[in-house]
Structures are given as structure tokens and as C-alpha cells.
A and B are shown apart, each in its own frame.
Chain A
């Protein structure tokens, strides 16, 4: 049994006489312990999708089954009960501005009727978990964005949820804080065996912590699978765009610079298991004595392993090119031709 099962889910918004299909026939399975990414450009429908998971939005069609329970079949009261085990964090943190950190974290417990003292003790414990013990009495306005999101995460964990939904949780944060929050989410996933669903428009977020990803475009699910597979061999146009944009800046720049160089074949290589210390490209150039043009590169050293990708322009000569591709493949790199 999947933790979350989405079957033929559709959502149509009706405004006056205008019908907008926000989501059409979405099918996904999220297993227990997954960190499941849902990625798409803004307006793709991903925020609507995540709100259908806890029925903040009621789907027009289809089913959402959470831990074997069909959400659509629940009464209003049962639904509220179910939501207590499906926590959610948001892009704008959404903390109560007039309550301090401890009161904010206690809030979900208090509305369930937990005695004040008990709720407060639990809140303090959670503040420790998120590394903010010294901010118990601070109000949201006195906290930085990253700290506010930590309080929000602590609040989300207050009721021992089974699932944590993250709606663009790091989109309002700087890259460094984003990394810290993602580390925290990963830590929670491992220590509490929580199933996590992450909505984002950033491929880097998916790459960093997700094990599976669904790509949503114009309300349709265009690609779904393991993050590595999709990053290494993106099939859909949307996936390619998301990956390339992430690596090389804005989407419009994707076409132009590549197109300027018309000679030779362009390939994209993806570093997977290579040692970060092996100068693969340099060695290849030395070996073949032929120049190679690096059009773009985005690699990072993650724990001694090179992660990321490059776009190379290889010599026109077909023979050399094929040999080079084989050379790269032998070294464990993923190679694919770029056809734009």
C-alpha cells in the first residue's frame, strides 16, 4: 500500500463562465519514507496538486488515498482529523504574527485540546530539534526567514505527522539557508521516517534531497520516476527545460549560445559516480589531441564525488567523436547528444 495514492485526479476552477483546467488526470504513488518532489514552472498546477493531497482543495475528479483512506469519502470532521497527521509548511512560513515561537509550535496541539503545559513542553523539545532553543520567546518578526521556516517545521512536527507537505518551502530563502532547511528536512525524513512531498520550481532542490520526482506542466504529469534517472536522461521537453534552465540560467539563453556554434556535435555529459578529483575532460583532450569546447558546465563536489553536468562540443570528425563518447562512458559518465 502506498502512503499516498493519487488516481486520475483532475481539478477545474470555474470563474464566471470561464473554466480553467488546473490539473488533468494526475496519477502518482508516493511510498512511505519517500522524499517526493513535484516540480514545474509557476502556474503548472503543482500548488493545487499539493493542496489536493490534504483536501484543502477538493479535486473535481479522481481520488486521493492517504494511508489507505480515501480522502473524498471523509466527513468534514474526519477530514480535520486526517489533516492533523498531514503537516504542511509554506513559502511564506505562515506563522501567527502575534504569537511567539513556542506558542506557534504549541498551536496545533492546543487546538486538539492538549493541555497548555504539555503542549509547551513538547514545543520546547521541538525547538531543540530544529536548533532554535534560544528563540522560544521570539516573535516571528524578530526571526530571519530561515529561522521562521524552522519554527514552521517544528510546528508541523508537533502532532507527530506521517506526512509532511512542503509548498515551495525554500523559495523565499537565500541559497545557503535553503541548503540548511533542506538538510533539516532530510534529517527529519531519516530520523522520523516521515514521508515528505516537496513542491518546487527549482531542480536543485529536487536533486539535493528527493528520491523521486514528478514533473508537472500545464496541469499534466509529463514525467515521473527516480530523480537520478530523470536528471540523467530527461525525456520530456519540460524536464529538459527545467534541468537546463537550472544549470544554465534562464530558459531563453538555452537556445542562443548553443546555436551560435554550428560546427561539431554537442553532447551533454552527466557526472554520476566519478571521482571529483579525476580531470576527465582534460585527460580526454590529452589522449585524443583534439580540442573540445566546453559550452557550459555546472559541477559540484559533493563528498568527493563530482555531481552535475556539462555541455561539450566535440570535433567534427565522426570517428574521434565516437571514440571520445566511448571514453567518457567508460569513465562512468552519462552521455547524450544535445539536439536543439
Chain B
């Protein structure tokens, strides 16, 4: 393998890591508060509000039901408006975030709902406000589950980022399609697949290590 190919793959790897991490981070910026809002406004929540819950619920369901590949194309005008162009790694981050945010919101919701209702009641009996309960009880008690959720999300976004290669999204997926599919260079495709597998394993391992290190329920 020549230097040029190695350079190409290294670049693709970096692009993939960049897209995945930035998209997940931005996804949490939106998904985390929405997930909290879903938990709080649920009818079993600490401040039930059927109206808010219903609206969020419907929006999330709609967004989650659109396949990522179609979302990628649907969002092209929006991406162009936001980033200035619709191809390349930075542009790919837009549909990735749009797709990740509702997914993350659901992940967060399910993590927070695992928190024992008794502990929440105990906090209420101590005079804790709803805000205190969210930040000092729900998020703290659910942290292991939240981190596990983030690890799963990271893996999913990694997969999506590769899919974005079909529309010149950059990263390893792009290389796999351009060289492996259009040019029949199976060896390069296999290497990108191997790199994706390794990347996935690393993300998974680090995530689970952190989660178990922070868990005191053992």
C-alpha cells in the first residue's frame, strides 16, 4: 500500500471520528434537555404536562420514523443554508445531529425513568424543588445508564456517518463507496470496514469502562 492510500485512509478515519464525536455532542445539546423535559412532563413525572409531552412525543416519533438516508437528502436545502454547502464532513454533521437528537432524547428519557420513584419522593419530602430533583437526583442517579446510552448512541452515529458517504459526506464511509464500490478496489473497502470495526470497539470499550467505574450500585 502506498503512502497516498495510507494518507487517504488516515484522513478518512479522522473525518469519521470528527463527525461522530461532534454530532453526538451537538445531539446531546438538544436531546438531553428534551429527554429531561419528556421525563418531567410525563404523567408519572414530577411535573406532569400532557400538552408538552404530547407535542414532543409526536415530533420525536415523526423524526425517528424517517430513514436516515432519506433524511440526508431531505435536509440538503437546510444544510446548504446552515453550512453553505451540502457535501463534506461539516455538512454531514447537520443531518447527523437532526437524526441523533430525537434518538438521544428517547435514550435519556428511558434512563431517567429508571430512577427509583422512592428516591424522588424522599427528595421531595426534604423540600427539594423540581429543578433540584432533576439536577441532583435524576441525572446523578441515572448517570451510569446515561453513559451507557451515550455509548450506544455513539455507535449508531458512527454507522450513520458511514452512510453519509453515499452523498459525498466524507470519512471512511465515503472512501469505502468511492474506492470499494465505484472503483472495485475491494482491499480498500475491507480496510475501511476493519477501521470502522476497530473504532466501534474502542468507543464501546471506553464508554462501558467509564459507566462501570462511575457505578456504585454493585
Give chain A residues whose Cβ lies under 8 Å from the Cβ of B144. 98
Query: Is A36 in contact with chain B by the CB < 8 A criterion?
Result: no
Q: A258 in the interface, Cβ–Cβ < 8 Å?
A: no
Q: Are B140 and A98 in contact (CB-based, < 8 A)?
A: yes
Main secondary structure on B side of the interface with A: helix
Query: Which of B93-101, B125-133, B173-181 lies at the binding interface?
Result: B125-133
- Complex contact A84–B126 (CB within 8 A): yes
| A81 vs B118: C-alpha distance when bound (angstroms) | 20
Across the interface, name the chain A residue whose C-beta is closest to B141. A98
Known interface pairs A94-B116, A97-B216, A111-B132; A83-B126 also in contact (CB < 8 Å): yes
Interchain nearest-CB distance for A105 vs B (Å): 11
Contact: A97 with B118, CB < 8 Å? no
Give the segment of A19-27, A85-93, A202-210, A266-274 that binds chain B: A85-93
B216 and A90 contacting across the interface, CB-CB below 8 Å: no
> With A98-B217, A100-B216 as given contacts, are A80 and B122 in contact (CB-CB < 8 Å)?
no
Q: Complex Cα distance A29/B132, Å?
A: 33
Residues of A close to B187: CB separation below 8 A? none
Within 8 A of B (CB), among A91-112: 92, 94-100, 107-108, 110-112
Chain A 175-216 residues near chain B, CB threshold 8 A: none
User: How distant is A111 from chain B, measured CB to nearest CB, in Å?
Assistant: 5
Minimal beta-carbon separation of B12 from chain A (angstroms): 39
Chain B: minimal CB distance from A26 (Å): 20
B80 contacts across to A, CB distance below 8 A: none
B214 (CB) vs chain A CBs: closest residue: A98
A284 at the interface (CB under 8 A from B): no
Q: Is A139 an interface residue (CB 8 A)?
A: yes
Q: How far is the CA of A165 from the CA of B126 in the complex (A)?
A: 12
Are B127 and A96 closer than 8 Å at their CB atoms?
no
Among A81, A99, A159, contact of B140 (Cβ-Cβ < 8 Å): A99
**B217 interface neighbour in A82, A88, A92, A141, Cβ under 8 Å:** A141
| Across-interface contacts of A107 in B (CB, < 8 A) | 123, 126, 136
Q: A80 with B125: in contact, given A96-B141, A97-B216, A98-B141 (CB under 8 Å)?
A: no
What is the total number of residues of chain B having a CB less than 8 Å from a CB of chain A? 24
B192-218 contacts to A, CB under 8 A, are: 214-218
B218 touches A111 (CB 8 A): no
Q: Select from chain A the residue with minimum beta-carbon distance to B129.
A: A80
Q: Using C-beta atoms within 8 Å of the partner chain, give the interface range for chain A.
A: 20 to 34
Give chain A interface residues in 45-91, CB to chain B under 8 Å.
Answer: 54, 56, 80-84, 86-88, 90
Q: Which residue of B lies closest to A76 (CB)?
A: B129
Task: Let me know if A88 and B140 touch, CB within 8 A.
Answer: no
Once the chains are docked, how many angstroms separate the CA of A94 from the CA of B217? 13
Chain A residue with Cβ nearest B116? A94
Interface string of B111-146 (1 = CB under 8 A from A): 000001011011111111100100011001101100
B127 touching A84, Cβ below 8 Å: yes
Q: Which residue of A lies closest to B143 (CB)?
A: A98
Minimum CB–CB distance from B98 to chain A (whole Å) comes to: 32
Answer whether A56 and B126 are a contact pair too, CB < 8 Å, given A97-B216, A141-B217. Answer: no
Contact: A141 with B122, CB < 8 Å?
A: no
0/1 interface trace, chain B 140-182, chain A, CB 8 Å (1 if under): 1101100000000000000000000000000000000000000
Check A87 against B125 for contact (C-beta < 8 Å): yes
Contact B127 A112 (CB under 8 A): yes
In the complex, A88 Cα to B121 Cα: how many Å?
10
Residues of chain B contacted by A110 (CB below 8 angstroms): 136
Contact A94 B216 (CB under 8 A): no
Pick from B119, B132, B136, B143 the residue with the most CB of A within 10 Å. Answer: B119
Interface residues, chain A, CB within 8 Å of chain B?
A: 54, 56, 80-84, 86-88, 90, 92, 94-100, 107-108, 110-112, 139, 141, 159, 165
Q: List 24 A-B contacts (CB under 8 A).
A: A56-B121, A83-B124, A83-B125, A84-B126, A86-B125, A88-B125, A90-B118, A90-B121, A92-B116, A96-B137, A97-B116, A97-B141, A97-B217, A98-B216, A99-B140, A107-B123, A108-B126, A108-B127, A110-B136, A111-B123, A111-B136, A112-B127, A141-B218, A159-B126
Q: 7 shortest A-B CB distances, which residue pairs?
A: A94-B122, A83-B127, A88-B125, A80-B127, A94-B118, A84-B127, A139-B216
